[in-house]
């Protein structure tokens, strides 16, 4: 059966079609002897033997690989047979007028023959499909490892089918799990839905399961954290499917299963982006991205490229990062997307006004996404002059050139640290926001700023720092046990930035919905646990004290601001963010620039406080002993510098 080809199926069809017609007559006449109905049987059979193969060929039934047949093929086969039977019925009626038979074909025959024909023509194809499955199982000599699949939806169905079709993977799905009680007791590809996530420990013990596969690519981080915790308690390993943003360019398969990552524990429901409107805005236009070699800038470039701009100008100060992202973008444009976008790498410093004028005069960008900035709070506390020259002066230079050349839209990437800033970095970001709002007010164009919090996986992010510390054997350093931060994935942040570029009107500040803040110490514990280690036994957590400029909690809106919803559920407007712009903003920024040019850090801080009344610098503080109830762990002093504390196991 494994060597059958579609020509053989045609031969089977020519045998089984008249057999189906004969059985139809037998059922209708309730006799194996057709008697005087033989001429009608022959006429109907001949018509069916012509019509059904012709329809099968027309709808490509004979072009299917039945070894891997699925519901789609069976649906096609049934539909084609039904359509052919309808044609046979019509043709038979016409023939009965031209060549009347006595007795004629009973009117019920097409309806009786149809299910019989579907069953008989399906039989050899199903035998091939069953034989292929048995052959795959026979080739798998090792006993497969039992696994549970969490999620009985589309993704779960694909995973179960992939595992069943590939015994060489050495896995057997012994049960499905789903929190929807309406699915409990149902079967998917022959596998029963046995319960919800809380049934994992009992089922793992009963079926000797050592692995659970989370087939919920859009599940929020809270749900993933709970499932991982349950599996840890049951002594079961966990693998997951990638998030939806990771599946954009590929199909779901077992090969894409991976271990749980910290991004899975922090992600939220997938962001719904109005891609059609973004394409309409970007398609065929010249787009410039500053900081294009950075974490946010490079992802902006990737997502903008999919929208088909005529030119994508990647501006950055570091030649290596610009070189790498431009090569990647060119490969995407050529190999995957087939786009005619021209990728333009530009090495430049946004602090150079004349250089920017040349770039804008040469490439004439219509849309600007400004992601270039200094972002590290402790470093900028030590080097406030650099923060002013890049975050403030660089932004002002870009805005001046954008206004001179008539740039249609300008989107600046800001930070939640710009809200009631306590750091030089946050203060400079707030001044940059004010410059954007001032430029929008002057020009009447949709120049906007977008605030968001910590980005997972960005360069210098706490996640990468923790990974390096864990790889080195610890300790993992956290500034304070109550430190909380908002976290987003890079693709999620960039999607919302693009959405803000559509919604943006004259001079607005947008805040992304970042969910609930996460304790940084909880993030550290999760990462240690996901690395297969234990806090206190394998890795210590050290509390080093709040650094200069850091807050315990980030805020979303400044004093006097209030949030207003937009057409997108994940975006808010910081209303009245530009109401308090000082009339002398430009002259005060010029004073800041002069202080920075003179390398006068004291004057820079003083002028920042004069420009921003809500800027309140926070000095460094030492950590204090705390009893952490969640982890049942005690923070004790150890032989380290006086301000360092260590979290040890119970």
pLDDT, tens digit, 9 for 90 and up, residues 589-621: 999 999 999 999 999 999 998 888 888 887 655
- Rg of the chain (C-alpha set): 33
Residue 432: is its pLDDT beyond 90?
Answer: yes
pLDDT at 483: 83
pLDDT at 490: 80
User: Tell me: the pLDDT tens digits for 158-210?
Assistant: 888 878 777 767 788 899 999 888 889 888 877 889 999 999 999 999 998 88
Residue 365: is its pLDDT beyond 80?
Answer: yes
Helix axes 38-58, 109-139, angle to 10 degrees: 50
Q: What is the mean pLDDT of the chain?
A: 80
- Among 187-201, 250-264, 268-282, which is the least confidently predicted range? 250-264
Tell which wins on pLDDT, 360 or 562. Answer: 360
Report the percentage of the chain scoring pLDDT > 90. Answer: 23
pLDDT band at 4 (very low <50, low <70, confident <90, very high): low
- Cα→Cα distances 460→214, 279, 419, Å: 30, 31, 21
Residue 647: is its pLDDT beyond 80?
Answer: no
pLDDT at 228: 85
Average pLDDT over residues 106-127: 83
Q: Cα separation of 228 and 259, whole Å?
A: 11
Average pLDDT over residues 567-574: 74
Average pLDDT over residues 118-140: 71
User: Tell me: the pLDDT tens digits for 63-85?
Assistant: 766 665 666 777 878 888 888 88
pLDDT at 77: 81
Fold category of 145-266 in CATH: Rossmann fold (3.40.50)
Helices (H), 283-417: 295-305, 319-331, 353-363, 377-382, 384-387, 395-405
Which CATH entry fits the domain spanning 271-366: 3.40.50.720, 1.20.1630.10, 2.60.40.10, 2.70.170.10?
3.40.50.720
Secondary structure element (H or E) that encloses residue 450, with its range: strand 447-452
Instruction: Give every CB contact of residue 212 below 8 A, 6+ residues apart in sequence.
Output: 147, 148, 149, 150, 177, 200, 204, 227, 231, 236, 237, 238, 239
pLDDT at 624: 43
Residue 88: is its pLDDT beyond 60?
Answer: yes
β-pair type (571-575, 508-512)? antiparallel
Residue 630: is its pLDDT beyond 50?
Answer: no
DSSP-assigned beta bridge partners for residue 451 = 414, 511
Range(s) within the chain of domains with CATH label 3.40.50.720:
145-266, 271-366
Tell which wins on pLDDT, 155 or 580. Answer: 155
Instruction: Give every CB contact of residue 251 below 8 A, 6+ residues apart in sequence.
Output: none
pLDDT band at 349 (very low <50, low <70, confident <90, very high): very high
β-pair type (191-195, 187-188)? antiparallel
User: Tell me: the pLDDT tens digits for 435-487?
Assistant: 999 999 888 898 989 888 777 766 667 777 888 888 888 788 888 888 888 77
């Amino acid at each position: 059966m494994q060597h059958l080809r579609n020509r053989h199926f045609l031969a089977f069809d020519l045998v089984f079609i008249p057999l189906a017609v004969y059985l139809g007559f037998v059922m209708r006449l309730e006799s194996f002897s057709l008697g005087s109905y033989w001429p009608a049987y022959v006429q109907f059979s001949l018509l069916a033997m012509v019509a059904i193969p012709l329809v099968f060929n027309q709808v490509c039934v004979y072009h299917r690989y039945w070894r891997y047949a699925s519901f789609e093929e069976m649906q096609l086969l049934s539909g084609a047979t039904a359509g052919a039977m309808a044609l046979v019925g019509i043709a038979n009626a016409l023939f009965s007028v031209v060549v009347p038979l006595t007795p004629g074909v009973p009117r019920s025959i097409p309806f009786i023959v149809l299910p019989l024909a579907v069953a008989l023509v399906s039989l050899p194809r199903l035998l091939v499909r069953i034989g292929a499955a048995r052959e795959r199982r026979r080739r798998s000599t090792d006993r497969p490892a039992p696994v549970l699949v969490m999620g009985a939806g589309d993704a779960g169905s694909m995973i179960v089918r992939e595992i069943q079709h590939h015994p060489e993977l050495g896995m057997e799905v012994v049960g499905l799990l789903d929190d929807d009680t309406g699915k409990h007791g149902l079967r998917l590809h022959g596998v029963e839905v046995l319960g919800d996530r809380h049934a994992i420990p009992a089922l793992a013990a009963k079926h000797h399961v050592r692995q659970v596969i989370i087939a919920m690519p859009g599940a929020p981080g809270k749900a993933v954290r709970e499932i991982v915790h349950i599996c840890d308690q049951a002594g079961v390993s966990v693998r997951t499917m990638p998030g939806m943003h990771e599946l954009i360019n590929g199909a779901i398969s077992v090969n894409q299963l991976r271990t749980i990552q910290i991004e899975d524990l922090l992600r939220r429901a997938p962001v719904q982006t109005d891609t059609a409107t973004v394409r309409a805005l970007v398609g065929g236009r010249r787009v410039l991205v500053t900081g294009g070699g950075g974490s946010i800038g490079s992802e902006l470039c990737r997502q903008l490229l999919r929208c088909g701009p005529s030119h994508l100008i990647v501006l950055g100060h570091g030649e290596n990062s610009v070189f790498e992202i431009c090569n990647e973008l060119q490969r995407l444009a050529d190999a995957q997307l087939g786009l005619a976008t021209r990728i333009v790498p530009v090495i430049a410093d946004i602090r150079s006004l004349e250089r920017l004028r040349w770039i804008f005069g040469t490439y004439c960008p219509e849309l600007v996404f400004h992601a270039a900035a200094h972002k590290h709070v402790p470093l900028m506390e030590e080097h406030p002059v650099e923060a002013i020259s890049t975050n403030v002066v660089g932004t002002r230079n870009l805005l001046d050139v954008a206004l001179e050349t008539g740039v249609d839209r300008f989107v600046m990437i800001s930070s939640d640290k710009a809200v009631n800033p306590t750091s030089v970095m946050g203060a400079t970001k707030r001044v940059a926001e004010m410059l954007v709002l001032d430029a929008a007010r002057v020009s009447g164009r949709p120049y906007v700023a977008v605030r968001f919090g910590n980005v997972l996986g960005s360069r210098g992010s706490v996640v990468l720092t923790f990974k390096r510390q864990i790889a080195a054997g610890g300790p993992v350093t956290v500034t304070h046990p109550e430190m909380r931060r908002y976290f987003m994935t890079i693709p999620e942040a960039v999607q919302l930035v693009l959405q803000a570029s559509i919604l943006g009107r004259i001079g607005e500040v947008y805040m992304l919905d970042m969910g609930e803040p996460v304790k940084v110490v909880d993030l550290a514990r999760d990462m240690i646990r996901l690395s297969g280690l234990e806090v206190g036994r394998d890795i210590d957590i050290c509390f080093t004290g709040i650094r200069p400029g850091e807050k315990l909690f980030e805020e979303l809106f400044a004093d006097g601001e209030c949030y207003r919803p937009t057409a997108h559920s994940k975006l808010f407007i910081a209303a009245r963010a530009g109401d308090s712009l000082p009339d002398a903003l430009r002259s005060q920024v010029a004073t800041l620039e002069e202080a920075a040019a003179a390398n006068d850090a004291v004057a820079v801080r003083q002028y920042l406080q004069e420009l921003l009344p809500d800027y309140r610098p926070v000095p460094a503080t030492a950590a204090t002993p705390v009893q952490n109830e969640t982890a049942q762990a005690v923070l004790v002093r150890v032989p380290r510098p006086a301000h360092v504390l260590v979290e040890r196991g119970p």
